[in-house]
Amino acid sequence: MANELLQALFPAWACRREEYRLRHDILQAEREARSQGYDAASYDRLNMNWWATNQSAEDTDRGDRDGMRARARDMERNSDIYNSVILAFIRNTVGNGFTLQAQTDNKDLDDQLEELWKEWSKPRNCDVTATQCFNQLLRMAVRRKKVDGGMLLVKCYTGGGLLPFKLQALEVDELAGARMNPYHKGNKVVGGVEYDKYNRAVGYWIQHYRLDGVLADEVYYPAQNVIFYFSKLRPSQVREISDSKHILTRVRDSNEFMTAVSLKERIAACLSVFIRKAAPDKGGGSMGRPGEMSAGKQRPSYEGKTVAPGMIYELGIGEDINVVNPGNSGNDAAAHLKTLQRIIGAGAGLSYEATSRDMSETNYSSARQGSIEDELTYAEEIELLTWVLTEIYETFVISAVLAGKVSIPGFWENKQIYMRHKWVASPKKWIDPLKEARANEVAYKNGFKTYQQIAAEQGRDWKDMFNEMKEVADYAATLGLAMIGGFGFAEQQK
């Protein structure tokens, strides 16, 4: 009754009362929902458009894998910011390559394997197409992983090189994704990869194409002959997904933004004018066209006219000029672009400085901290890449033994001993050589680092360093000079 009376006498108050009642009911429902669960899982008014479902990794990736890869390749071709992220990974994971250190406890055998590896790493020996050396294959693999999500390296046992073993690089597109029938009964084929009952990859179905692009056939390769280089992020993931999945939308935004800003600045650099007439010409009841006769006189025409330095031109009666002068937004554009690049770098696990190469806002401490954090991101990629290198090296050693390039008695009985090795990554340049050298000196004197560790950080083999120092010292002795402190020389006392 009170409500009806209020609506009749004061309808505005009645509406406001009802509105507040509804708001109170909504807030009360939200408080009850929060007290019973997680805000991130609720579907209240703040999350009402956030719908997500749980699926296996393959179900989630299958529909988006090809489209995302195509877009990533488009950005690879057209975006400089995207390429700055890719090149940062290539520089800091592969760089100048990895140095092999064989560790068989037999110095002569170690030297022989290391020299053989250097020779095999040449294009004619390691690449079945004879176009890329081993380091170039690794750089391409890292690039394809960042863009496509992964790459396949097939072990080819063929002649024509130093060893009857070479590598064939294949793109993930060449997996026969439509294949359903397994090679071995009881297995299943998903995305061109054949799995056993434990979801272990036992083989790969590769689509072979003729030179004209027509599909010839699908060939099965056992898993031991294929290295599938990709990152597995979920137990149910069976194939690759682009490493750039988190940053592609931002990369496209930055590309579109730069195009728009560039076009705007080009327009701003042009001087444009419009002729404004106080009153339209009238001739025969028709507006006519510029240059036509009107009332027996030639009307002025500006068609084809341009503004030139020092020009003098008489306008018609009742006409003046409006100048088009678009504003300049260069400063705002630079700030927005820098923000986008920071977000893109963070999405890839890198600092802004690593991708932009802009050190204008850094000092030694901040640059060092950023470098340390970036190294942790690169370390994950290097770890995965090292396992790929190890798989290739072990096949290389077996092929060298079978081909008679090295003689190792008892190799098959002690195969793991003769395959022991270590990879030394290419060195990183110091940010501040003096500070870094002093830090290494203090760490070495206090036992926090060994000489081997310090040498490895510089991409050097510590044995080679000692051999080089001895060579220099011996040569200096022949000239009557003695080394002082490892670097300086003084004439020997007679």
User: Treating both helix axes as pointing N-terminal to C-terminal, what angle do 11-36 and 2-9 enclose, rounded to 10 degrees?
Assistant: 130
* 109 and 144 assigned to the same domain: yes
Cα distance between residue 118 and residue 116, in whole Å = 5
This prediction has a pTM of 0.75
* 162 and 267 assigned to the same domain: no
Q: What percent of the chain has pLDDT over 70?
A: 83
* 136 and 25 assigned to the same domain: no
pLDDT confidence tier of residue 228, bands split at 50, 70 and 90: very high
* 108 and 143 assigned to the same domain: yes
Is residue 213 in some structural domain?
Answer: yes
Cα distance between residue 398 and residue 58, in whole Å = 36
Is residue 487 in some structural domain?
Answer: no
Mean pLDDT on 54-66: 90
Inter-residue contact 334 to 348 (CB < 8 Å) = no
Q: Which of 272, 82, 73 is nearest to 172 (CA)?
A: 73
* 151 and 226 assigned to the same domain: yes
For 406, residues 6+ apart whose C-beta sits below 8 A from its C-beta are 109, 112, 113, 116, 397, 400
* 242 and 94 assigned to the same domain: yes
Q: What is the pLDDT of residues 90-129, one digit of tens each?
A: 999 998 889 898 999 898 999 999 999 999 999 999 999 9
Inter-residue contact 382 to 423 (CB < 8 Å) = no
Is residue 455 in some structural domain?
Answer: no
User: How far is the CA of 485 from the CAs of 441, 469, 481, in angstroms?
Assistant: 14, 12, 13
Cα distance between residue 28 and residue 467, in whole Å = 79
- Does the pLDDT at position 251 exceed 50? yes
Is residue 355 in some structural domain?
Answer: no
- Residue 141: HSE in the Cβ half-sphere, 13 Å Cα cutoff: 30
Inter-residue contact 171 to 151 (CB < 8 Å) = yes
Is residue 456 in some structural domain?
Answer: no
Range of the domain at 264: 252-281+313-347
* 81 and 116 assigned to the same domain: yes
**Distance spanning both ends of the chain, measured CA to CA:** 123
Cα distance between residue 244 and residue 209, in whole Å = 28
Q: Which of 184, 204, 209, 208 is nearest to 193 (CA)?
A: 204
Is residue 454 in some structural domain?
Answer: no
- Does the pLDDT at position 488 exceed 50? no
Cα distance between residue 494 and residue 490, in whole Å = 12
* 25 and 146 assigned to the same domain: no
- Does the pLDDT at position 340 exceed 60? yes
Phi, psi angles (nearest 5°) of residue 403: -85, -5
- Does the pLDDT at position 153 exceed 90? yes
Is residue 445 in some structural domain?
Answer: no
Q: How many CB atoms lie within 10 A of CB 120?
A: 22
Q: What percent of the chain has pLDDT over 90?
A: 40
Our CA dihedral for 340, 342, 348, 350, rounded to 10 degrees, sits at 160
Q: What is the DSSP letter of 39?
A: G
Inter-residue contact 33 to 205 (CB < 8 Å) = no
Mean pLDDT on 257-262: 86
* Length of the chain measured in residues: 494
Mean pLDDT on 146-167: 93
Q: Which of 134, 138, 148 is nearest to 71 (CA)?
A: 148
Please identify, among 246, 268, 301, the residue that sits at the C-terminal boundary of a domain.
246
Q: What is the DSSP letter of 223?
A: G
- Please give the tally of structural domains in the chain: 3
User: How far is the CA of 63 from the CAs of 59, 69, 229, 249, in angstroms?
Assistant: 7, 11, 21, 18
Cα distance between residue 134 and residue 169, in whole Å = 11
* 72 and 137 assigned to the same domain: yes
* 169 and 275 assigned to the same domain: no
* 219 and 160 assigned to the same domain: yes
- Does the pLDDT at position 168 exceed 90? yes
- Residue 423: HSE in the Cβ half-sphere, 13 Å Cα cutoff: 21
* 111 and 236 assigned to the same domain: yes
User: What is the average pLDDT value for the chain, to the nearest integer?
Assistant: 82
